[in-house]
Structure 1
Amino acid sequence: MASSRHKHAVPKRAGLSRPSGSATPGGARAARRKAPATASPWRGRAVKVALPALGVLTLVGTSAAVISQDAEIAPASASIAEVAPSDDIIAQALEDQDATIEVNRSAERPELPAESEESVDVTGTRVALKDGVAVRADAKRDAPVLATLDKGDKIDVTGETAEGWTEVVHKDLSRWVKSASVAKKLPEPPEPALGTEPCPTGSESGLQPNTVKVLRAVCAKFPEVSEYGGVAGRGEHATGHALDIMVRGAAGDSIAAFLQENQDELGIEYLIWEQQIWRPATSASWRPMSNRGGDTANHMDHVHVTTVGSGASGY
């Protein structure tokens, strides 16, 4: 028997059909999760435009950085110092490093003096009077010793002095020495002491002490003299107060001058030479004597010496 219930077909509405497998709302949600995302058409076009533009901007930025670096290289720490707080240890260290780099080392060294400032004028020379004369850097006793001079060494001077110091020139620079240690020239060597050794060519027999001194002194000073007259028969010769030195001409002049120079030391009372007499007790000059008739009597061939204590008279 046919059933009284009939299935009525439901007509489909246009645009409301569901895809297969999504008959239920849960199935529709699952379908949406599984379906791949489809990019919007405008998004694809934006990507195509943005990528080339990004490349151009990158290239421009790189070029600008290179140009900026060539124009001026700023210390990396400068920007850090601007934004970092003052108590930032790293920033402070960088600032200290920058300060060290910026120090001008040449400013720490004094400028070298010009050559004209170092030159000194030389006005003469001096000679060292002894060995070990110190050449000092300044006119002070404790100034460094730069060199020493030996006796006879010469050194240039400027003519300047300062409280017992003389300015000298050593290696083209101004230096100082004690004024008392230098002079224009070395002093003349002192005259040797009067001879005191016995004379090999004259007899001392019977002579007074002062007369012996005259004989030895003349013999040592004038060894060319070969003859002396000592003790004789009369006057001061008899008592040993007189000595005759047998010479002529210039040799006699030199001996007479030598005896005058040493009159006090030798105890000389007077001299007779070439008919003249020199008696310092009465006159400082030579005085003429009368003619006695011959060379020996007029003392033309010898210098006569009478020492102190003589009792002779009439000369």
Structure 2
Amino acid sequence: MPRTRLIRRRVRRALLALLAATALLLGAGLATAGPAAAAPSPSPDEGGTKQLRAALDAAARGHIEAKNRLDNSKRRQAALTGQLKQLDVRLVELTAQVGEVAAQSYRVGRLTAVSMLLASSSPNAFVKRAAELDVMAQRDSKRLRDLNEAKTEATQTKLALDAEVREQQKQLAVLARKKRDAEVALAKVSSGSGAGFGGGSASAKPAPRNPDGSWPSESCSVNDPTPADGCITPRTLHMLQQAQAAGYKRYVSCHRSGGDGEHPKGRACDFAAATSGFKDVSATGGDKAYGDRLATWAKNNANRLGIMYVIWYRQIWMPNTGWRSYSGGGSPAADHTNHVHISMY
């Protein structure tokens, strides 16, 4: 019997040692896996409704497009204004030249071909005066033609300037309308203006634009490098890379299959506030400060990167409303108190 008990104790110790080693190995595996392996995604709807997200998308998209048209019109107006100033200077010069011709004709009488040729004293003088007559006629004709062309160009430039003023008034009206649309949509989830957040720089490298300054139309065509494992647009990838280059390297997830909004289209990313991924609790302390800086960075670089709106910690930023309060339903995911949501144009 004593020998049997000894064998049992040895077997028990061996089993305990085996279990301890297994637990240690499992723990090391989880540690090396990092937050990407264990971090869950936020709620698929992330608060709000499909209608709200569609309204916010339309209001932000309309604002960005109208703002681009307005900026283009202002650039054209500036160029036309400079052109008109140059034309005014040329008109003064040409008018003075034509005035000299008129004054000379008044003083000595109108020079005609007959009068010049009759005054010739010899065949050589006749040929010389004939040549002079041709040169003077060409010179005076060119001055008058240049003057008339400059007047016509100045008139057309003034008409173009008037057209640009009307275009700007039109786009300002569109901007005002899109702002009202955004405010109407936000009224369902917002109780008023928000205070915004501190930190964040404005140093992102601009995303590529069309020659006229507008944003290229993009599809979900490049690989999503985040654990979401799907596709995103090239502009979304650029934003993600710029955010990481700025130091925002905690867990992030972009593409999401199913549902609505920008995630399935590859036009949105969720940046976790916590170092370990998406936690079902509101961020505090250093995690909250990290989210504050990231949200402000996104707002400051929105025009460079093509960002439509940013949602973080019960606030939403849109280019036509600024920071507004936001209530998505009460949970950390819906209220965006555990992650920063960035939607792209």
Give the TM bin, normalised by the shorter chain.
Answer: 0.3 to 0.5
By percentage of residues, which structure has more strand?
A: 1
**If the length of structure 2 is used for normalisation, what is the TM-score?**
0.30
By percentage of residues, which structure has more helix?
A: 2
Structure with greater Cα Rg = 1
Higher RCO, Cα 8 Å, sep 6+: 2
**If the length of structure 1 is used for normalisation, what is the TM-score?**
0.33
